[in-house]
Structure 1
Amino acid sequence: MAVTRTFHKWLLGKEIEYMIRRAGVTQMQAANVIEVAQSKMANLIAGRGAISVGDLERLANALGFTDSGYQEKLLDLRRDNSRRGCWSTGYMKAYAPEIRLRIGAEKSADRIRSVEIEVVPGLLQCESYVRALYAGAPDVGALTHDDRVDARMARQDIFDRENPPVLQFVLSESCLRRVMGDAAVMREQSEYIVKLSERPNLMVQVLPFRSASRRRTLTWDRFTLLRVQSPGAAGQLELGYVEGVTGIRYVDDKDALSAYDLAWSRLSAAALSFEESREFVREVAHEFR
């Protein structure tokens, strides 16, 4: 059975990968320390496995990471990745297992960059838009329509945390014109984007239909790039989130992340400037009157 990746499992995996790299050993050699198969070590690094307290301490000591403060951080990550109850109460149960890694990363990220093709990104959605988006979705067990709405809106709590992330969005014009609900909802949504774009740490760019199509700027993926500072020693970590017709995919391979970073740069360069984009969204809001 595949193990669902969570944010703290991913962070712990990155710390294990960092220790192995700094120690100059192979995954197989590290796996031998705790007497597991190399495939299990690979799963731990990918955030898809579990490790006991004893094995984690044994691995850290064998790799030369004997500092008690650092080991305590590793154990904190292990404790956190075992806590499941928080996902089963209130609106938290609305988060599907496959999206929980993203939710955790959003809460800790210091930079979030997102490209959206057809739907306004969740972090920019106003409540009426969210309600329209989920209209008709049946209640499933204890999960209600209000739970879904509350869960989506709660993600915007990161705007007001003590050290909010830098948020950058490139939106296709189709995001602003694809009607969810009715004209009143779309007008409110456009006005909400304008309001959010006035925050100093939140930047919105629009890629209008009239922009000349260039092969290098085309993308059919909606993707998000998140940057997180590790609480341990692994430093700055990058995570990509890609959503398409085949489902959700997480990317943390360096080559793949570089490709998405390049795609972001090209799309951002092709889009309107921040001020031009804000005026464009205002015009769209006016058209929905």
Structure 2
Amino acid sequence: MQPTYSPSVRRRRLNAQLRKYREARGETTAVVAKKLGWQQTKVSKIETGERKKVTPEDLDALLNYYKVDDPEMRASLHECARLGNQRGWWSKYRDLLPSGLPDFEAEASVIKTYECQVIPGLLQTPAYAEAIFRANLVRSDEEIAKRLEGRMKRQEILNRVDPPEYWVIVDEAALRRVVGSRGVMVQQLRHLTHMAARHNINISVLPFEEGAHPATVGSFVIMEFPDPMDASIGHVETPTSSLYVEGDHELAQLNTIFAGAQGSALSPARSLAFINDVIQALEE
């Protein structure tokens, strides 16, 4: 069975800790590399994650140089290096999920998302998701089927015994836009009302009548993790690529934007009533 943890989160944790050890000594990657008899790029690529595999020997050399004597910490970092080399379930969809977003969703304890165009992927029904994929007319049936399988697999994190806390702000436009057909849309919106009943899911609607709001810049996701060694990360998707936001200042800005949008949105209870009104209008 393939692991459900995230290799990228493990690698990110390892890289960040090694960088902290080096910076605590006030040394550059060039100095560390020279002391170990390595190329300077080797140390920098380990810290940035460009080097996908960190061998036990290389890790021990770095930890010995940094004088990390705590056996529990050393064991933890070796475990990060070992698990970081393994692949989760999403590896088979890597060509269709190039952003690696499931890597981080798999271990997030809190996921916050603002979506301005469509229903968030984690809350999409199969029929709705398929209609979204078919909007790109160059995709084959085989590719669409594989994308749909991957999206449904992603949603399993919400069905875990310990699911992440999921905060969703969805623009009214995503509720009004009829995707697939009126029947597909009604089914999708009813699914939202069912998911909103879960203790870990909070859905807020940002109505048109609010006018301009802090999140007019576009859709984004913020993920937080239970381990204090794992810093929060933001994700912004564009038509051609994905951008990860990791800087403290940038993350603070994203959280401020999310909080502002949340302040402009309806409460979860009023949002549920709003969604039911949209359903009723579609069924008339």
In structure 1, how many angstroms separate the alpha carbons of the residues matched to 2:127 and 2:241?
Answer: 25
- Determine helix, strand or coil for the equivalent of 2:278: helix
Tell me which residue corresponds to 1:265. Answer: 259
Q: Offset of 1:208 from its aligned partner?
A: 0.7
Q: Do the aligned partners of residues 137 and 124 (structure 1) sit closer, same or farther apart at CA in structure 2, a change above 3 Å counting?
A: farther
Are 1:98 and 2:98 matched, yes or no? yes
Q: Do the aligned partners of residues 57 and 191 (structure 1) sit closer, same or farther apart at CA in structure 2, a change above 3 Å counting?
A: same
Q: Which segments of 5 or more consecutive residues in structure 1 lack a partner in the other structure?
A: none
Tell me which residue corresponds to 2:117. Answer: 118
Q: Offset of 1:237 from its aligned partner?
A: 1.5
Q: Do the aligned partners of residues 206 and 29 (structure 1) sit closer, same or farther apart at CA in structure 2, a change above 3 Å counting?
A: farther
Tell me which residue corresponds to 1:52. Answer: 55
In structure 2, how many angstroms separate the alpha carbons of the residues matched to 1:256 and 1:52?
Answer: 33
In structure 1, how many angstroms separate the alpha carbons of the residues matched to 2:163 and 2:170?
Answer: 21
Alignment length, in residue pairs?
274
In structure 2, how many angstroms separate the alpha carbons of the residues matched to 1:38 and 1:22?
Answer: 18
In structure 1, how many angstroms separate the alpha carbons of the residues matched to 2:192 and 2:238?
Answer: 24
Q: Do the aligned partners of residues 86 and 33 (structure 1) sit closer, same or farther apart at CA in structure 2, a change above 3 Å counting?
A: farther
Amino acid at match of 2:15: G
Q: Offset of 1:274 from its aligned partner?
A: 1.0
Q: Which moved more, 1:246-255 or 1:65-74?
A: 65-74
**Cα deviations by residue, 1:166-219 (Å, 9 ceiling, x for unpaired):** 1101111111122221111111111111111111111011111111325xx142
Quote the sequence identity (%): 25
Give 1:17-96 correspondences, 5 Å limit: 17-23=19-25, 25-36=27-38, 38-50=40-52, 51-84=54-87, 87=90, 92-93=92-93, 96=96
TM-score, L = length of structure 1: 0.84
Residue from 226, 229, 240 that aligns with 2:226: 229
Q: Offset of 1:282 from its aligned partner?
A: 1.1
Instruction: Confirm or deny: 8 A CA contact 1:33 1:59 kept in the other structure.
Output: no
Q: Which moved more, 1:59-68 or 1:23-32?
A: 23-32
**Cα deviations by residue, 1:263-289 (Å, 9 ceiling, x for unpaired):** 111111111111111111111122221
Give 1:1-289 correspondences, 5 Å limit: 6-23=8-25, 25-36=27-38, 38-50=40-52, 51-84=54-87, 87=90, 92-93=92-93, 96=96, 98-100=98-100, 102-135=101-134, 136=137, 138-139=139-140, 144-214=143-213, 217-230=214-227, 235-289=229-283
Q: Which moved more, 1:239-248 or 1:46-55?
A: 46-55
- Determine helix, strand or coil for the equivalent of 2:109: strand
Q: Do the aligned partners of residues 138 and 246 (structure 1) sit closer, same or farther apart at CA in structure 2, a change above 3 Å counting?
A: closer
Q: Which moved more, 1:41-50 or 1:27-36?
A: 27-36
Q: Do the aligned partners of residues 266 and 56 (structure 1) sit closer, same or farther apart at CA in structure 2, a change above 3 Å counting?
A: same
Amino acid at match of 2:164: P
Q: Which moved more, 1:220-229 or 1:7-16?
A: 7-16
In structure 2, how many angstroms separate the alpha carbons of the residues matched to 1:44 and 1:270?
Answer: 43
Instruction: Confirm or deny: 8 A CA contact 1:12 1:47 kept in the other structure.
Output: no
Q: Which moved more, 1:245-254 or 1:260-269?
A: 245-254
Q: Do the aligned partners of residues 257 and 288 (structure 1) sit closer, same or farther apart at CA in structure 2, a change above 3 Å counting?
A: same
Q: How much is the aligned-residue C-alpha RMSD, in angstroms?
A: 2.5
Tell me which residue corresponds to 2:4. Answer: none
In structure 1, how many angstroms separate the alpha carbons of the residues matched to 2:162 and 2:26?
Answer: 35
Q: Do the aligned partners of residues 73 and 279 (structure 1) sit closer, same or farther apart at CA in structure 2, a change above 3 Å counting?
A: same
Instruction: Confirm or deny: 8 A CA contact 1:221 1:244 kept in the other structure.
Output: no
In structure 2, how many angstroms separate the alpha carbons of the residues matched to 1:59 and 1:117?
Answer: 45
- Determine helix, strand or coil for the equivalent of 1:282: helix
Q: Do the aligned partners of residues 151 and 16 (structure 1) sit closer, same or farther apart at CA in structure 2, a change above 3 Å counting?
A: same
Q: Which moved more, 1:195-204 or 1:205-214?
A: 205-214
Q: Which moved more, 1:219-228 or 1:77-86?
A: 77-86
